[in-house]
Chains A and B, each alone.
Chain A
Amino acid sequence: TGVQKVVALFAHLPQYEREKCISLPAQHAGQIHPAVATLGLQYAEGAIQGANARCIAMLTAFKAFISDYETPATKTLNRDLEARLRPQIQYLVDCRPVGINMGNAIKWLKARIAKVPPHLDDGAAKAYLCSEIDGYISERIVLASSAIAELGASTIQDGDVVVTFAAAHTVEQICRAALALGRKFKVIVLDARPQWDGRRLWARLVEAGADVSYAGLHALAHVMRRATKVVMGSHACLSNGAVVARAGSALVALSAAGANVPVLVACETYKFAERVMLDSICSNELGDPDDLIQVRRREGERLWRG
């Protein structure tokens, strides 16, 4: 679906154009590494969801790219690799705008590339970069979530009713850790259309043996009366303490504040951004408008398209 109507309020944001991403690899034939091309399509299709998952997938694809890279005779790895990485990144951005956490990872990677010890030969330099990427994933993402899970689990007491929204990797980890500690608590997963992400989390928690129930956002007020705490994941944490998360999180947080329920947000430090957003619209991602409405009759279709 190409862009058919630009909504004035969101005109400054990158518009949703799916067909463009699918044709992109063909356009850049030869320039985009196959691993990166696959990843881009997966992003466009929505096959990979979640801030952590997307970031790990991106870094893994870059590892493949770096492994296959060969420094030309007249250039140095420090500078050339970064130049060659740029179109890969641009392609991924075109498929789906990168998140703040992925932006941080990219900045880190570029800094690492620039700092590769110049005396290393190609093979050693690439091995160094790959091991650095492994370290980043392992420390900043995987181990960070474990640390958060431990800390989060310690805040969950017996008898707690924990409300969460959509699917967050960290929240799942926290619940699992709390279960491992033997805490008796109930989880209520709130969910919203069009993606109904929360179902993933709900299914996983059921498998993990948690006492978990599920509700849509319309049941927010009802659920909040019984809640003892709200635990949510996040996409990014801004300098002023504001949290960027899945659309709907602010609603849950406001409702909790109104019911005197504490709101706990799990956020790995690699998601911290040195910026401030004054509202939700100045920087955001637009999804597929067709997800919102299924129109069957042709007339309806015409009206919807305007």
Chain B
Amino acid sequence: PAAIAAIKVLLEVIQKSPATTIMGLQIELQTAADSLKEHQTEGISVASGCELFMRFVTRTALENAEYEECKKRILSRGEFFRDHSTRARAKIAELGSPFLRDGHIVLTTGFSRVVLNLLLHAAMHMKRLFEVVVADSQPGGPGLQLAQRLVEAGIPVTVIDESAVAVAMERADMALVGAEGVVENGGVISKIGTYQMAIVCQASRKPFYIAVESFKFVRQYPLNQRDIVAFDGLARRLSVDAAKPAASKAKGIEMEYERRTRDYTPPKYITLLFTDLGVLTPSAVSDELIKLYY
């Protein structure tokens, strides 16, 4: 994923850095990270990944007097972080699989590779027999891609419309979704449709699980959906069909379209988060964030 690639890039920046002081190295890293954040379209995981990498890596910088020694320490910490992050998915799959029992029906939306990994691990290594119902989330229809990968692995899959989630919840035993970012209070920012699924889960008293890597933990605290618009890449307007002009052109107003790509799910709807740091309740997330950032 983009965040791992960003981390590898930052590691290379350290390896190839001509800086001779820790400050110089930090400035280079910061410039590289800022540049990465500017050009990415993936989401907030790149920003959070970079931020965490830099915090993790520079934490021991002050202990050694010699720059070369420091640099070696920083490099080895960076490699540790990279390896840990690369292995995050496997760890999450191990921790999350026990929650899938034989005969379960799992509801999901979007296409999270973390979720895919978890489901494949449960089916193939732990030999669990379960069914997956995938909400084909628009825009983009990534749910279909996820469904195809699951079917190829021999897992029974049903694809439904996003609007049918409430109806499908009746049959489901749990919902499992990925996230793009985990915020300070344990809430998550993820593909549009996640919040809806979470609310329906709560209304139906079914558990709602999020599978997410720890490098996606961010130091943000959105209070409502409006606060994440910055992450949204602006609600995109679809062009109005030219053949059917807006009926109210006479009054000078045009039909507005809004296509949000992300939503914010508050922590009260989330049962547990499967992360490489362990299975966490939303309230434990801020503890882990403090440990990560300090």
Which A positions have Cβ atoms within 8 angstroms of B? Answer: 155, 157, 228-229, 262, 264
Q: Please report which residues of chain B, range 177-232, place their CB below 8 angstroms from some CB of chain A when the two chains form the complex.
A: 221, 223-224, 226-227
Residues of chain B at interface, number, CB under 8 A = 5
- The 9 A-B residue pairs whose C-beta atoms are closest, nearest first, are A262-B223, A229-B223, A262-B224, A157-B226, A155-B223, A157-B227, A228-B224, A228-B226, A155-B221
A264 CA to B224 CA in the complex, in Å?
13
Q: Please report which residues of chain B, range 276-291, place their CB below 8 angstroms from some CB of chain A when the two chains form the complex.
A: none
Nearest CB of chain B from residue A194's CB, rounded to whole Å: 33
A-B contact pairs, 10 of them (CB 8 A): A155-B221, A155-B223, A157-B226, A157-B227, A228-B224, A228-B226, A229-B223, A262-B223, A262-B224, A264-B223
Question: For chain A, what secondary structure do more than half of its interface residues adopt (helix, strand, loop), or is it mixed?
Answer: loop
A236 CA to B197 CA in the complex, in Å?
38
A248 CA to B224 CA in the complex, in Å?
25
Kindly list 8 other residue pairs between chains A and B, CB separation below 8 angstroms, not including A155-B223, A157-B226: A155-B221, A157-B227, A228-B224, A228-B226, A229-B223, A262-B223, A262-B224, A264-B223
Q: How many A-B residue pairs have CB under 8 A?
A: 10
A155 CA to B226 CA in the complex, in Å?
11
Nearest CB of chain B from residue A62's CB, rounded to whole Å: 35
Nearest CB of chain A from residue B122's CB, rounded to whole Å: 36
Nearest CB of chain A from residue B268's CB, rounded to whole Å: 11
Q: Which residues of A contact B221 (CB under 8 A)?
A: 155
A157 CA to B225 CA in the complex, in Å?
12
A72 CA to B224 CA in the complex, in Å?
62
Q: Which residues of B contact A157 (CB under 8 A)?
A: 226-227
Q: Which residues of A contact B227 (CB under 8 A)?
A: 157
Nearest CB of chain B from residue A232's CB, rounded to whole Å: 15
Closest-by-CB residue of B relative to A260 is: B224
Nearest CB of chain B from residue A183's CB, rounded to whole Å: 14
Nearest CB of chain B from residue A67's CB, rounded to whole Å: 40
A155 CA to B222 CA in the complex, in Å?
9
A264 CA to B221 CA in the complex, in Å?
12
Q: Which residues of A contact B223 (CB under 8 A)?
A: 155, 229, 262, 264
Closest-by-CB residue of A relative to B226 is: A157
A157 CA to B226 CA in the complex, in Å?
9
A262 CA to B226 CA in the complex, in Å?
12
Closest-by-CB residue of B relative to A264 is: B223
Q: Which residues of B contact A228 (CB under 8 A)?
A: 224, 226
Nearest CB of chain B from residue A225's CB, rounded to whole Å: 15
Nearest CB of chain B from residue A146's CB, rounded to whole Å: 20
A228 CA to B224 CA in the complex, in Å?
9
Q: Please report which residues of chain B, range 93-132, place their CB below 8 angstroms from some CB of chain A when the two chains form the complex.
A: none
Closest-by-CB residue of A relative to B221 is: A155
Nearest CB of chain B from residue A94's CB, rounded to whole Å: 43
Q: Which residues of A contact B224 (CB under 8 A)?
A: 228, 262
Nearest CB of chain B from residue A157's CB, rounded to whole Å: 7
Nearest CB of chain B from residue A241's CB, rounded to whole Å: 11
A228 CA to B226 CA in the complex, in Å?
10
Q: Which residues of B contact A229 (CB under 8 A)?
A: 223
Nearest CB of chain A from residue B277's CB, rounded to whole Å: 24
Nearest CB of chain B from residue A148's CB, rounded to whole Å: 15
A123 CA to B226 CA in the complex, in Å?
58
Nearest CB of chain B from residue A228's CB, rounded to whole Å: 8
A157 CA to B223 CA in the complex, in Å?
11
A262 CA to B223 CA in the complex, in Å?
6
A162 CA to B227 CA in the complex, in Å?
15
Closest-by-CB residue of B relative to A262 is: B223
Closest-by-CB residue of B relative to A159 is: B226
Closest-by-CB residue of B relative to A160 is: B226
A229 CA to B227 CA in the complex, in Å?
12
A262 CA to B221 CA in the complex, in Å?
12
A264 CA to B227 CA in the complex, in Å?
15
Closest-by-CB residue of A relative to B227 is: A157
Q: Please report which residues of chain B, range 216-252, place their CB below 8 angstroms from some CB of chain A when the two chains form the complex.
A: 221, 223-224, 226-227
A229 CA to B222 CA in the complex, in Å?
12
Closest-by-CB residue of B relative to A263 is: B223
Q: Which residues of B contact A264 (CB under 8 A)?
A: 223
For B40-82 the 0/1 string (1 means CB < 8 A from A) is 0000000000000000000000000000000000000000000
The CB with the most chain A CB atoms within 10 A, among B223, B224, B226, is that of B223
A155 CA to B224 CA in the complex, in Å?
11
Q: Which residues of A contact B226 (CB under 8 A)?
A: 157, 228
A157 CA to B221 CA in the complex, in Å?
13
A262 CA to B268 CA in the complex, in Å?
14
